[in-house]
Structure 1
Amino acid sequence: MTQSPESLSVSPGEKVAIRCTASSSLNSYYVSWYQQKPRQAPKLLIYSDTDRASGVPARFSGSRSGTVYTLSISSIEADDVADYYCLQTDRSPLTVIQTSTKTSLLKGVGD
C-alpha cells in the first residue's frame, strides 16, 4: 500500500483527499482508515472501504476506484488535525494484512 500525500497543510473548511494505492486488486480484502492524535490510540474511521465507524462524523467518507482507496474529509475542522493511516484488512475481524505510511494533516499557516 502506498499512501499519499505524506503531509497536508490545510485551512478550516477545505476539502481533503488522502489516497492509498494497492499494488494489485484487493478483491478478497478491505481497506480501513484510522486517525491518530498525539498520545492517543488510533481511532477507526472507515472500514470495509466505505463504511463509517460508529460515532464518526459524516464529513469523513471512504471510496474505492480500482486499486485506489480514498479517505475524504468534506470540510476540515481544527479537531481533524492528526495522522491518518490506511490499512489493508481481512474481512472479519479486521485483521491487519498490510499497513501504509502516514499522512500528517497540519493546520495552515496563520490558523
Structure 2
Amino acid sequence: MSQSGLTGTETQGTMSFITIIISALVFCSQGSRGQITVTQTPSVKSALPGSAVTLSCKTSTSSGLNGYLHWIQFKPEEAPKGLIYKISNRNTGIPTRFSGSGSGTDFTLQISQVQPDDAADYYCVADYGAPNITQ
C-alpha cells in the first residue's frame, strides 16, 4: 500500500495550490509468495485547481498480482474511500476525473480538473488478491 495525498490548499498571490502528499506503505502477504513493496515518488505534489495531477506507484513485483492494484483516498476524520480497484475500475460514485492505469510494476492515478475537495492522502494498494481455488 502506498500513499499519496492532497493535504490542503496554499495561496500564493492570487493562485491557490492544492498540495498532494505521497508516501509509501508496505503490505505483507500471507503465505509463500512473500512481500510486495510499493513505492511512490515524489512525496509531495502541488496543483492549481482545474489542472491535472498524476500519482505514480511502483511495485516490487508483478508476479502473482493479477491486477490487484487499488487506489484509496483518506481524509481526516472520514472513512477511507476506494477510488479505483483492479488498476483501472472506478468504484460507484467516483467522478470520471479519477482514472487509474498501468501494467507490470508501474501504475498511475490521474486526477483531472483537480478541485480543493481533492485535498487528501492517496494510497496505492497492491496485494495478491483472493487465492485461486480449483476443484
Could you say what secondary structure the match of 1:33 adopts? strand
Could you say what secondary structure the match of 2:117 adopts? helix
Q: Report the CA distance between 1:8 and its aligned residue.
A: 1.2
Which of 111, 121, 128 aligns to 1:73? It is 111
- In 1, Cα distance between equivalents of 2:64 and 2:74: 27
Q: How does the TM-score come out when normalised to structure 1?
A: 0.76
- In 2, Cα distance between equivalents of 1:72 and 1:8: 13
The worse-fitting range, judged by mean Cα deviation, of 5-14 and 50-59 is 5-14
Could you say what secondary structure the match of 2:40 adopts? strand
Q: Report the CA distance between 1:4 and its aligned residue.
A: 2.1
Corresponding residue of 1:10: 47
For the pair shown, the structure with the greater C-alpha radius of gyration is 2
Q: Is the 8 A contact 2:62 2:105 kept in 1?
A: yes
Q: How does the TM-score come out when normalised to structure 2?
A: 0.63
5+ residue gaps, structure 1, are: 93-111
Instruction: Calculate percent identity across the aligned residue pairs.
Output: 47
Corresponding residue of 2:3: none
- In 2, Cα distance between equivalents of 1:35 and 1:90: 20
Q: Is the 8 A contact 2:65 2:128 kept in 1?
A: yes
Could you say what secondary structure the match of 1:79 adopts? helix
Q: RCO greater where, 1 or 2, for CA within 8 Å and sep 6 or more? A: 1
- In 2, Cα distance between equivalents of 1:53 and 1:89: 18
- In 2, Cα distance between equivalents of 1:28 and 1:35: 21
Which of 64, 70, 95 aligns to 2:102? It is 64
Name the count of aligned residue pairs: 93
Q: Is the 8 A contact 2:65 2:126 kept in 1?
A: no
Q: Report the CA distance between 1:27 and its aligned residue.
A: 4.2
